[in-house]
C-alpha cells in the first residue's frame, strides 16, 4: 500500500490553493474590481454590495480570502487595496482572462473533449469576448512597439486581421488624422467590442470593422482592401495555421504580399511555440499555453517556422522588434527585395 506523505498531501493542496486563488482573482477581474484596484482605487465592500443589490456579507468573504492569499490588504474595516504583491501582479492580470477565463468553457469539460463526447467548435467554444478583453489589457505594453513600426513605415491605411477589440487600430489612427484602419474579425462578439472602441474613440468614418474570414482576403469588401499599405496580424496566424493548414497559411501570406505590394509591410505579432521538449518545462507558461491550443483548434509554431512561411510567401523579414510579452515576438516583413 502507498504510504501517506505530507509532501503528497501538500502537493495536491497547492493545486487546490492555486485553483481557488485564480478563480477568486478572476471573479474580481470580471467584475472590473481588479482593474480599479490596480489604478489605485480602494475597494469598498458596502459600495460594491449596494451596486449589485446584495448584502455586504456576500461580497466580503471573497475579498477576505484574497487577504489570506496575499493579494489584498485591509485599509480600514470593509475597505481593501492591493498589497505590494498584488501591485506587482497587476500588469499581468489580463492573463487571468486569456489563460483561464476564456478557456473555462473548454477546461471545465476537458475530459469530454479528450474522450470525444464533445467536439470543440461544435459543442464547446472558448469565450472570444473574454479573450479579446484580456488581450487588450495585456497588449498596452506591446502597442508601443507596433505603433513605432507603423510610424516608421509611413503607412496610411492599415488592415488588421483578427482585430479583436480594435484597440491597436484605434491607437494607430491616433498617429495622424490621415490614418485609416480596417479591422476584420469573424467573431460577432469581438466585432461588437471593436465597434464599441470605434465609437468610444470617435473614429467613425476612419476605422471600419468588417465581420468576415481573414483567411479569405478576396471575399472582403473592395473598400476594405483598396489602398492598404500595411497589414497587421496579432495573435491570429496560429489560429489560421489550424484552420487552413500550412499551405493555406502561406497562401494567405501571399495574398497579403500582393495586397500591400512593393513598399508595403506586414507586421506579425505571435507567440512562439517550441518544438524542443527538453526546454518546455522551464518555460514560464508555454506548457499550459500549448495544452489549451491543442484542444481549441489552434497550432503554435516556433519563430523559425513563421520566418520560413513568410519567405515562402515571397516576403523578406526586415526586423524583429522587441515585445514585452511572454514568448511573443514581433516580425516586420516586406515584399521581396524591398527593404
Ligand atoms: C487571440 S485573438 C487576437 C485579437 C487581437 N488581434 C489582439 O491581439 O488583441 C484572435 C482573434 O482572431 C479572430 N479570428 C480567429 N480566426 C479568424 C478568422 N479566420 N478570420 C477572422 N478572425 C479570426 C478571433 O475571433 C479573435 O478575435
Question: What integer is the mean pLDDT of 152-161?
Answer: 95
Q: Given a cut of 60, is residue 238 above it in pLDDT?
A: yes
Q: Given a cut of 80, is residue 29 above it in pLDDT?
A: yes
Q: Is 213 in the pocket of ligand 1 (CB under 6 A)?
A: yes
Give tens-digit pLDDT for 11-23.
999 999 999 999 9
Q: Given a cut of 70, is residue 280 above it in pLDDT?
A: no
Q: Given a cut of 60, is residue 338 above it in pLDDT?
A: no
Final residue in a domain of this structure, among 57, 73, 92: 92
**12 inside domain:** yes
Higher pLDDT pick, 285 / 263: 263
Q: Which atom of ligand 1 is nearest to the CA of 233?
A: 6
- Residue 284's pLDDT is what? 65
Buried/exposed 53-74: b ≥16 CB within 10 Å, e otherwise: eeeeeebbebbebbeebebbee
- Residue 293's pLDDT is what? 86
The CATH number covering residue 215 comes to: 3.40.50.150
Q: Please indicate, yes or no, whether residues 145 and 69 belong to a single structural domain of this protein.
A: no
Q: Please indicate, yes or no, whether residues 160 and 79 belong to a single structural domain of this protein.
A: no
Q: Please indicate, yes or no, whether residues 48 and 184 belong to a single structural domain of this protein.
A: no
Q: Please indicate, yes or no, whether residues 263 and 322 belong to a single structural domain of this protein.
A: yes
Please report, rounded to a whole number, the percentage of residues in the chain having pLDDT higher than 70.
Answer: 96
Please report, rounded to a whole number, the percentage of residues in the chain having pLDDT higher than 90.
Answer: 77
Question: What integer is the mean pLDDT of 192-219?
Answer: 96
Query: What separation in Å is there between the alpha carbon of 129 and the centre of ligand 1?
Result: 10
The CATH number covering residue 25 comes to: 1.10.10.10
Q: Is 216 in the pocket of ligand 1 (CB under 6 A)?
A: no
Query: What separation in Å is there between the alpha carbon of 166 and the centre of ligand 1?
Result: 10
Give tens-digit pLDDT for 84-137.
999 999 999 999 999 999 999 999 999 999 999 999 999 999 998 899 889 888
Q: Given a cut of 90, is residue 242 above it in pLDDT?
A: no
The rounded distance, in Å, linking the Cα atoms of 169 and 239 is 20
Q: Is 270 in the pocket of ligand 1 (CB under 6 A)?
A: no
* SS3 annotation, 305-332: HHHHHHHHCCEEEEEEECCCCCCEEEEE
Query: What separation in Å is there between the alpha carbon of 281 and the centre of ligand 1?
Result: 28
Q: Please indicate, yes or no, whether residues 67 and 177 belong to a single structural domain of this protein.
A: no
- Which residues form the domain of 243? 139-275+293-335
- Quote the pTM value: 0.83
For the record, the C-alpha cell of 324 comes out as 514585452
Question: What integer is the mean pLDDT of 170-183?
Answer: 94
CB-based contacts of 127: which residues, under 8 Å, 6+ apart?
101, 102, 103, 104, 105
Q: Given a cut of 50, is residue 339 above it in pLDDT?
A: no
Helix (H, G, I), strand (E, B) or coil at 12: helix
Q: Given a cut of 90, is residue 82 above it in pLDDT?
A: yes
Final residue in a domain of this structure, among 75, 92, 109: 92
Q: Please indicate, yes or no, whether residues 82 and 169 belong to a single structural domain of this protein.
A: no
The rounded distance, in Å, linking the Cα atoms of 99 and 247 is 28
Which region among 45-59, 150-164, 271-285, 297-311 has the lowest average model confidence (pLDDT)? 271-285
Q: Is 185 in the pocket of ligand 1 (CB under 6 A)?
A: yes
Confidence tier at 144 by pLDDT (50, 70, 90): confident
Question: What integer is the mean pLDDT of 167-182?
Answer: 94
State how beta strands 180-185 and 207-211 pair.
Answer: parallel
Q: Is 184 in the pocket of ligand 1 (CB under 6 A)?
A: yes
**67 inside domain:** yes
Burial class (CB in 10 A: 0-12, 13-18, 19+), 5: exposed
- Residue 4's pLDDT is what? 85
- Residue 282's pLDDT is what? 57
Q: Is 241 in the pocket of ligand 1 (CB under 6 A)?
A: no
Higher pLDDT pick, 292 / 45: 45
Q: Please indicate, yes or no, whether residues 60 and 144 belong to a single structural domain of this protein.
A: no
Query: What separation in Å is there between the alpha carbon of 133 and the centre of ligand 1?
Result: 12
Q: Given a cut of 70, is residue 283 above it in pLDDT?
A: no
Q: What is the tally of structural domains in the chain?
A: 2
Q: Is 235 in the pocket of ligand 1 (CB under 6 A)?
A: yes
Q: Is 186 in the pocket of ligand 1 (CB under 6 A)?
A: yes
For the record, the C-alpha cell of 18 comes out as 492555486
Q: Is 169 in the pocket of ligand 1 (CB under 6 A)?
A: no
Query: What separation in Å is there between the alpha carbon of 314 and the centre of ligand 1?
Result: 24
Amino acid at each position: 500500500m502507498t504510504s501517506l506523505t505530507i509532501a503528497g498531501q501538500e502537493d495536491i493542496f497547492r493545486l487546490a490553493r492555486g485553483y481557488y486563488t485564480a478563480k477568486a482573482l478572476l471573479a474580481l477581474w470580471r467584475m472590473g474590481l481588479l482593474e480599479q484596484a490596480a489604478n489605485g482605487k480602494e475597494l469598498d465592500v458596502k459600495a460594491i454590495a449596494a451596486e449589485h443589490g446584495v448584502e455586504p456579507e456576500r461580497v466580503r468573504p471573497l475579498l477576505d480570502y484574497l487577504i489570506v492569499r496575499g493579494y489584498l490588504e485591509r485599509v480600514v474595516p470593509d475597505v481593501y487595496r492591493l498589497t505590494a504583491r498584488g501591485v506587482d501582479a497587476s500588469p499581468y492580470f489580463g492573463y487571468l482572462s486569456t489563460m483561464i477565463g476564456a478557456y473555462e468553457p473548454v477546461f471545465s469539460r476537458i475530459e469530454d473533449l479528450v474522450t470525444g463526447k464533445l467536439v470543440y467548435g461544435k459543442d464547446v467554444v472558448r469565450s472570444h469576448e473574454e479573450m479579446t478583453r484580456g488581450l487588450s489589457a495585456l497588449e498596452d505594453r506591446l502597442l508601443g512597439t507596433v505603433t513605432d513600426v507603423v510610424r516608421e513605415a509611413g503607412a496610411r491605411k492599415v488592415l488588421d486581421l483578427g482585430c479583436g477589440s480594435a484597440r491597436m487600430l484605434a491607437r494607430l489612427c491616433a498617429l495622424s488624422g490621415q490614418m485609416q484602419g480596417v479591422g476584420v474579425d469573424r467573431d460577432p462578439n469581438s466585432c461588437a467590442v471593436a465597434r464599441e472602441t470605434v465609437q468610444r474613440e470617435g473614429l467613425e468614418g476612419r476605422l471600419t470593422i468588417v465581420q468576415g474570414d481573414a483567411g479569405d482576403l478576396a471575399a472582403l469588401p473592395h473598400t476594405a482592401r483598396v489602398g492598404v499599405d500595411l497589414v497587421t496580424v496579432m495573435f491570429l496566424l496560429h489560429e489560421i495555421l489550424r484552420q487552413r493548414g500550412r499551405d493555406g497559411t502561406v497562401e494567405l501570406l501571399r495574398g497579403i504580399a500582393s495586397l500591400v505590394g512593393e513598399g508595403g509591410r506586414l507586421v506579425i505579432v505571435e507567440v512562439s511555440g517550441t518544438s524542443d521538449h527538453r526546454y518546455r518545462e522551464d518555460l514560464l507558461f508555454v506548457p499550459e499555453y500549448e495544452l489549451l491550443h491543442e484542444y481549441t483548434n489552434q497550432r503554435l509554431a516556433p519563430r523559425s517556422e513563421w520566418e520560413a512561411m513568410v519567405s515562402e510567401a515571397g516576403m523578406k523579414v526586415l526586423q524583429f522588434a522587441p515585445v514585452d510579452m511572454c514568448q511573443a515576438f514581433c516580425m516586420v516583413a516586406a515584399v521581396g527585395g524591398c527593404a
